[in-house]
Amino acid sequence: MRAIVERCAHGAATAGGVEVQLQMRPGYKDMRNNLTMARVFGEHLAAGGRQARETDPRVGAGSTDMGDVSHVVPAIHPYLAIVGEGEALCHEHRFAAAAASDQAAQTALAAAKAMAKPAIELLGSPALRQAVRTEWSERR
């Protein structure tokens, strides 16, 4: 993708009779989900009546710095839908309307509960903390 953008910039500069100087800046780091924590989250989500997908090729990193965080500490970045598949995409008017719905509020509550419970488990379980640390250390 970078090569395409650079060619476009050079082509536009040539067409406009100007020079272009490109300077690369690092972007966001990749998200390194800690599967040990993610699976505990998924168990609590399932207990609340929602099924978690361990992977979803349709979901990308978007513009989040959570990947940067996941390189410093063990982290997860779960996604919970507030619309059915194919109904709306983020940044569409339909999605904005869905975000103001009761369904979205219920989804936020389900996510909060499913995230709080693993946090409590992590605080109370040295074995779980060690498993999370071990996985994180091995992926660094």
Structure tokens belonging to residue 64: 């989040």
Structure tokens belonging to residue 28: 């966001």
pLDDT in tens, 23-72: 887 778 888 899 999 999 999 999 999 988 887 777 665 667 888 999 99
CA 89, CA 59: separation in Å to the nearest integer?
11
CA 91, CA 26: separation in Å to the nearest integer?
25
Instruction: Break the chain into its structural domains and give their ranges.
Output: 27-139
How many CB atoms neighbour CB 118 within 10 A?
A: 23
Fold of 27-139: Aminopeptidase (3.40.630)
How many CB atoms neighbour CB 80 within 10 A?
A: 14
Residue with the two structure tokens 């779960």: 78
pLDDT score of 83: 87
pLDDT score of 62: 62
User: Has this prediction a pTM greater than 0.85?
Assistant: no
Residue with the two structure tokens 């940044």: 91
pLDDT in tens, 81-90: 888 888 888 8
pLDDT score of 60: 62
